[in-house]
Amino acid sequence: MGAPSLDVEALQGLHNLARELLQLDDYDKMVDTVVKHSLETLRGERGFLVLQRGDELDFKVVRNWSRRELEGKGEPVSRSIVSRVLADGEPVLVEDALSDQRFAQTESILRMQIRSVLAAPLEVDGVPSGVLYLESRTLDRLFGPAQLELFKHILELSSPALESCMKRIVLEQRNRLLEANFLERHRFPGIVTQDPGFLKVLETVAQVAKSDLPVLVQGPSGTGKELVVRALHLNSPRAKAPYVTVNCGAISPHLLESELFGHVRGSFTGATRDKLGVISSADRGSVFLDEVGELPPELQVKLLRTLQFGEVQPVGSSRPATVDVRFLAATNRNLEQAVAKGEFREDLLYRLNVVTLDLPPLCERPDDILPLFYHFLHLAAEKAGRPDPQVSPRLERVLEEHVWPGNIRELENEAKRLVAVTPQDEPLTVDRLSQRIIRSEEIARPTPASLAEHEKELIELHLRLAKGNRTHAAQSLGISREGLRKKMKRLGLA
């Protein structure tokens, strides 16, 4: 036996729900609409989007139940039903809870006099993470198998909106959990992640930070190498000592030697006094050599000696000075290829990369795109003295699908730009994105496959009822005959 077919009223209700969802661009409104339509179509009395966090139930959407009532009377749902749905990952129908041996004696059923329940899991990446819960308390509104079947159709139709909403909620929860645990136990200022691969990098950072070993951080530009290097220093025993940064590619070669190692008075034209080099000024602390792959060959030799013997010889001096520093380096170049080309000393590479950390591009950290975006958005809004702006779901989808060739730096700049170009009382939308992003993405809103299937089924039903008369079918659907023709052509019915 197949699933029972839906009547005209049920199909029309699904059609109305789909049409309303496509007109919305706000997750909270989408989910509230799904709960509202479910209650109207299934003749339920109250509806909830429920999350379970440890021993607590969290209600994200509440229909036909005031927040004051919710706070005053405790949990308005059956905890045992919610737990069963999350554990089994399957919808649950309770036709009459007071006569159902599974739930009749539970405290919430008795206290709230709950009679009938429909509940289904909401998944994020295939894992049940929340429950859409409908209930009735009167005998004339008991749910049955027909309502369960229609409930499944509603869930199928609205699954993209529900999963997007749940994904955002779960992301927020995971971020709070991470901040309360690993990220809070260490000093990682500015670093936002929930990506398993990047968390493993940070675990390595926390471990090797305790040592004095040189660390080489590799990765494309804009992946956060400087933040990782700073975290190495802040989580080390040298955290209270100097931390000095040198960009090896931003200083001309003839000045870089003096910058790194210092010089004595009269060692060259313009050297009117002794100068302490960056390495010596960081004694007992850390030196960060940014873009170390740009270091000129002649300075690579001097740096190698410092790494080997802990000695620094200023320009023009005949005597080296002893120094106690830890070297941290970063590069976006492939130094092994540079060694093969004779552009970088192999022995220096081996001294620098005792520990190597490889940072992935942002496109390999897809779960971090939105958390990072909201982090930068908050910082930009705070700096501008305005509340955090709302973000349309469509914009979120485009941000997640973009490749981000400029990595985290590009995402940060886009967040700042969106705050700057969007009026304070308006949400951030796709049309205000940089043109380079709009051009590189297919941002047309897709029609969900489930919507197309239901729309096709609805049209076929109306055509059968109208005995093939398209004019009458169009009238019953509330559209023009030409509109019906176009829909039929799009759906392969013409």
**Whole-structure pTM value:** 0.62
Provide the pLDDT for residue 286: 96
Instruction: Tokens 């040189």: give the residue.
Output: 214
CATH code of the domain covering residue 473:
1.10.10.60
255-294 per-residue burial string, b: 16 or more CB within 10 A, e: under 16: ebbbbbbbbbeebeeeeeeebebbbbebbebbbbbbbbbb
Q: Is residue 2 part of a domain?
A: no
The pLDDT assigned to 393 comes to 78
> 397 in a domain, yes or no?
yes
Domain boundary among 330, 355, 380: 355
Question: Maximum distance among all alpha carbons in the chain?
Answer: 103
Same domain as 162, residue 15: yes
More confident residue, 6 or 151: 151
Tokens of 477: 């659907």
Secondary structure of residue 156 in the 3-state scheme: helix
Taking alpha carbons only, the member of 366, 392, 367, 364 closest to residue 377 is 392
Same domain, 195 and 343: yes
% of the chain surpassing 90 pLDDT:
32
* Domain membership flag for residue 1: no
Query: Which tens digit of pLDDT belongs to each residue from 98-125?
Result: 777 676 666 666 666 778 889 999 887 7
Distance CA 182, CA 189 (A): 13
Asked whether residue 193 falls in the same domain as residue 231, the answer is yes
Q: What tens digit of pLDDT does each residue of 453-472 get?
A: 667 777 876 777 677 888 87
100 with 24, same domain: the answer is yes
Q: Is the pLDDT of residue 445 over 50?
A: no
What average pLDDT does the chain have? 83
CATH of the domain at 41: 3.30.450.40
How sure is the predictor about 126, in pLDDT bands with cuts at 50, 70 and 90?
confident
Specify whether 111 is located in the same domain as 136.
yes
| Residue 430 counted as domain residue | yes
DSSP for residue 448: P
Indicate if 169 and 42 belong to the same structural domain.
yes
348 and 405 share one domain = no
What beta strand segments (E) does 64-104 contain?
A: 92-94
CATH assignment at residue 196: 3.40.50.300
Handedness of CA 82, 88, 91, 97 (dihedral sign): negative
Give CA–CA dist 395/391, Å, rounded.
7
Instruction: Please indicate, yes or no, if residue 216 is contained in any of the structural domains.
Output: yes
Percent with pLDDT over 70 in the chain: 85
On whether residue 3 sits in a domain, the answer given is no
In a domain, 207, yes or no: yes
Q: What are the DSSP calls for 335-403, one per residue?
A: HHHHHHTTSS-HHHHHHHTSEEEEPPPGGG-GGGHHHHHHHHHHHHHHHHTSPPPPB-HHHHHHHHH--
Q: Which of 132, 148, 178 is the last residue of a domain?
A: 178
Instruction: Check residue 460 and give its pLDDT.
Output: 78
Looking at the 3D structure of the chain, how many domains does it have? Answer: 4
pLDDT tens digit sequence for 147-205: 998 898 888 888 777 877 777 777 666 665 555 566 667 788 888 888 888 888 998 99
Token pair, residue 472, equals 């009458």
| Same domain flag for 335 and 459 | no
pLDDT value at residue 384: 94
Does residue 62 sit in the same domain as residue 159? yes
List the CATH number of the domain containing 390.
Answer: 1.10.8.60
Domain extent at residue 19: 8-178
